[in-house]
A and B are shown apart, each in its own frame.
Chain A
């Protein structure tokens, strides 16, 4: 049962436990207050009664001295006059006992008739001793007989040291209880008001606390099925532990996303590297016998003496082998260390080489170069990279009206940055994933090796190629760090 209670959702548990706590604390506070109130009431009753007793005893002394019953009766009856203020701390009866332990007078002669013996009133008599009605009673005493409905206050009546009698003020507990009940009812009403105020606040606060936690729990539970989502700041915009936990969660989500992206990249580049190695080794394996075959064919043709049919067939075989050679050659990408470094004029050459294509495609072409005259990068590889990227860009932009291509080659600190961007149709993310793989082409007639070759070259130069794909616009960025041991000249 308790386990099931603790298994409840926070949405229920927080308000429920809060409500239980509020109710328990309100009840305990009010119980303590009621206990104190009861004691206060009793104390007030005793104090007020003692005061009344003292006043009465002083006024009663002469009547006892002179045996003036009627005056004494008027005095003890005065507090019960119709016009006197009535409350529950008022005594119920006032009795004057003469030293011979008989009722001298009482405010209620029907119950306590004059001259009746005190022993007739067993309850009072049991609670008191005979000495209470003699001059042994020197000061006010309060009697609370166990199980009695009444409480008695005994005041000695003295005049000049002479003991004249005892004044008894009786209080019914029901009067006290009625007053207490009034106070308790008022207290209970107040308590209900407090609860009516606190419980909705508790409910609201519980919901507020539980809602973000529930959202968090839901997101974390689904982390296996879905990529984690960040929590919106509105969910819990405070800097307490909960807020810090949500911030930490968001950071965690960020880190996870980054890690996932990185993993994806690593997998992709590893795959490309593996494909590269496989392709290169196959190409090598094919290239060697191919060279042999072509040399053999060439030798055969030079010897002559072949009939037309054979010559024709050999031609057919040679062209086929040459096509294989072309393809294989393209796959054998290698940025061989070159003696010649990149010069500014190499980039001018690229512009010149591509000029006819630009004219033909009618694209707007911006090309910005800001580099020193010479840089320690292999000129051939860089030219190849730039030509491949620009070629693709011009072709893609050329399909569109108002096609444009922008390119820049800039040296930023120790990094040579190549940028090529163009407008084009938006490329889907699935296609982007396979962009740099061999034999992947975006247009009819392409063999799908241009970007693959570019990727391999960049990779061999120890750099990275990045892709910024926006709506109807794509940009390739290649950052080449300047090799440290070579300087920039």
Chain B
């Protein structure tokens, strides 16, 4: 009985010490700014502001520090903020991550359908019954999501190049919608004949706003790529903060509130991955001369 009590006491002390250590560390590391700046890109359903607010509140409560979500309309803007040391953490696409790989490091990678992976969907209007793939889209109008999106820009261009065609002249016209969701809208409305989107966004939209996604049809799916990761600024974020955030995110699936947010995000949880996960994207980038080994 006494033994058990002593063990409990010791454990309690350990928790106290750990807590104090974390508290001191965090106080030191974040002395230059009071809150955590979390960049969000249009990698997911960008306009779910309520969900973001909920997640922000959740993180603030769990972290004991104010977490501020900073939303930007393009990957470029979020990347610029990161480069300008304006962000501590960010949820970016795989392609921007690889661009920023010297500046950021992987915190966690979301698990989508149990895997840290997603695909690129080639979609056309549901009225279009003939198109089977990129080969049928010569001279058409094509909607890209973002110049720094893998699934919405890099992957389709790679596929065209693989066909031996020049991605710059293959389509009659291309334009950017600056979000995956808007690519779906552009194809659904008939503005573009086809578009390339993240599987994650399209699948989520099917659940949330089927009236939009129902007007489109998937004609081709890319191989799996590493899921857009949550990254931390190498200089801005101290190791302890990095670990704390990683731990917090990893444990989200263990409490009901966290699970609720994950469900809203249509994710299963987070995982810790190595940069090798994005090797496929690296290959594609190399094809366009955009990746040079450090």
Q: Are B176 and A70 in contact (CB under 8 A)?
A: yes
Tell me which residues across on chain B come within 8 A of A68, comparing CB atoms: 175-176
Q: B180-197 toward A: CB 8 Å interface, digit per residue (1/0)? A: 001000100111100000
Q: Say yes or no for B63: interface residue by CB 8 A criterion.
A: no
Cα distance, A105 to B186, chains bound together (Å): 11
Closest to A67 in B: B175
Tell me which residues across on chain A come within 8 A of B177, comparing CB atoms: 70
Decide: A109 near B189, CB < 8 A? Known: A70-B182, A115-B141.
yes
Q: Say yes or no for A297: interface residue by CB 8 A criterion.
A: no
Cα distance, A109 to B177, chains bound together (Å): 15
Q: Say yes or no for A404: interface residue by CB 8 A criterion.
A: no
Task: Give the Cβ gap from B197 to chain A, nearest Cβ, in Å.
Answer: 14
Give 17 A-B contacts (CB < 8 Å), ordered by A residue. Answer: A67-B175, A68-B175, A70-B175, A70-B176, A70-B178, A70-B182, A70-B191, A77-B189, A109-B189, A110-B189, A110-B190, A113-B141, A114-B141, A114-B173, A114-B192, A115-B141, A115-B172
Closest to A74 in B: B182
Range of interface residues on A (Cβ < 8 Å): 10 to 19
Task: Give the Cβ gap from B239 to chain A, nearest Cβ, in Å.
Answer: 41
Q: Say yes or no for A436: interface residue by CB 8 A criterion.
A: no
Q: Are A73 and B186 in contact (CB under 8 A)?
A: yes
Tell me which residues across on chain B come within 8 A of A115, comparing CB atoms: 141, 172-173
Tell me which residues across on chain A come within 8 A of B173, comparing CB atoms: 69, 114-115
Q: Which residues of A contact B (CB under 8 A)?
A: 67-70, 73, 77, 105, 109-110, 113-115
Tell me which residues across on chain A come within 8 A of B182, comparing CB atoms: 70
Cα distance, A70 to B178, chains bound together (Å): 9
Q: Which residues of B contact A (CB under 8 A)?
A: 141, 143, 172-173, 175-178, 182, 186, 189-192
State the 10 A-B residue pairs at the shortest beta-carbon distance, nearest first: A69-B175, A109-B190, A109-B191, A70-B177, A110-B190, A73-B191, A114-B141, A70-B175, A109-B189, A115-B173
- If over half of B's interface residues share one DSSP class (helix, strand or loop), that class is named, otherwise mixed; here it is mixed
Closest to A69 in B: B175
Q: Chain B CB within 10 Å — which of A70, A105, A109 has the most?
A: A70
Task: Give the Cβ gap from A153 to chain B, nearest Cβ, in Å.
Answer: 22
Q: Are B191 and A105 in contact (CB under 8 A)?
A: yes
Cα distance, A105 to B191, chains bound together (Å): 8
Q: How many A-B pairs fall under 8 Å by CB?
A: 33
Task: Give the Cβ gap from B124 to chain A, nearest Cβ, in Å.
Answer: 14
Task: Give the Cβ gap from A381 to chain B, nearest Cβ, in Å.
Answer: 129
Task: Give the Cβ gap from A327 to chain B, nearest Cβ, in Å.
Answer: 133
Cα distance, A67 to B143, chains bound together (Å): 13
Q: Chain B CB within 10 Å — which of A68, A105, A114 has the most?
A: A114
Tell me which residues across on chain B come within 8 A of A73, comparing CB atoms: 186, 189, 191
Tell me which residues across on chain B come within 8 A of A110, comparing CB atoms: 189-190
Cα distance, A77 to B186, chains bound together (Å): 11
Closest to B141 in A: A114
Task: Give the Cβ gap from A360 to chain B, nearest Cβ, in Å.
Answer: 130
Closest to B189 in A: A109
Cα distance, A67 to B175, chains bound together (Å): 8
Tell me which residues across on chain A come within 8 A of B189, comparing CB atoms: 73, 77, 109-110
Cα distance, A113 to B141, chains bound together (Å): 10
Cα distance, A105 to B190, chains bound together (Å): 11
Task: Give the Cβ gap from B127 to chain A, nearest Cβ, in Å.
Answer: 9
Task: Give the Cβ gap from B171 to chain A, nearest Cβ, in Å.
Answer: 11
Cα distance, A70 to B185, chains bound together (Å): 10
A114: contacting residue among B176, B178, B191, CB under 8 A? B191
Tell me which residues across on chain B come within 8 A of A113, comparing CB atoms: 141, 190
Cα distance, A436 to B146, chains bound together (Å): 135
Closest to B186 in A: A70
Closest to B182 in A: A70
Tell me which residues across on chain A come within 8 A of B172, comparing CB atoms: 115
Cα distance, A337 to B172, chains bound together (Å): 148
Cα distance, A70 to B192, chains bound together (Å): 10
Closest to B172 in A: A115
With A69-B191, A70-B176, A114-B173 already in contact, 14 other A-B pairs whose C-beta atoms are closer than 8 Å: A69-B175, A70-B178, A70-B186, A70-B191, A73-B189, A73-B191, A109-B189, A109-B190, A110-B190, A113-B141, A113-B190, A114-B141, A114-B192, A115-B173
Cα distance, A69 to B172, chains bound together (Å): 14
Tell me which residues across on chain A come within 8 A of B178, comparing CB atoms: 70
Tell me which residues across on chain A come within 8 A of B192, comparing CB atoms: 114
Closest to B143 in A: A70
Cα distance, A67 to B174, chains bound together (Å): 10
Q: Chain B CB within 10 Å — which of A105, A109, A113 has the most?
A: A109
Cα distance, A109 to B173, chains bound together (Å): 14
Task: Give the Cβ gap from A346 to chain B, nearest Cβ, in Å.
Answer: 132
Task: Give the Cβ gap from B125 to chain A, nearest Cβ, in Å.
Answer: 9
Cα distance, A67 to B178, chains bound together (Å): 14
Cα distance, A105 to B173, chains bound together (Å): 12
Cα distance, A73 to B173, chains bound together (Å): 15
Cα distance, A69 to B173, chains bound together (Å): 10
Cα distance, A77 to B177, chains bound together (Å): 14
Cα distance, A475 to B189, chains bound together (Å): 116
Task: Give the Cβ gap from A98 to chain B, nearest Cβ, in Å.
Answer: 12
Cα distance, A73 to B188, chains bound together (Å): 13
Q: Chain A CB within 10 Å — which of B143, B182, B191 has the most?
A: B191
Cα distance, A114 to B192, chains bound together (Å): 8
Q: Chain A CB within 10 Å — which of B175, B182, B189 has the most?
A: B175
Task: Give the Cβ gap from B289 to chain A, nearest Cβ, in Å.
Answer: 25
Task: Give the Cβ gap from B183 to chain A, nearest Cβ, in Å.
Answer: 9
Task: Give the Cβ gap from A456 to chain B, nearest Cβ, in Å.
Answer: 124
Task: Give the Cβ gap from B47 to chain A, nearest Cβ, in Å.
Answer: 13
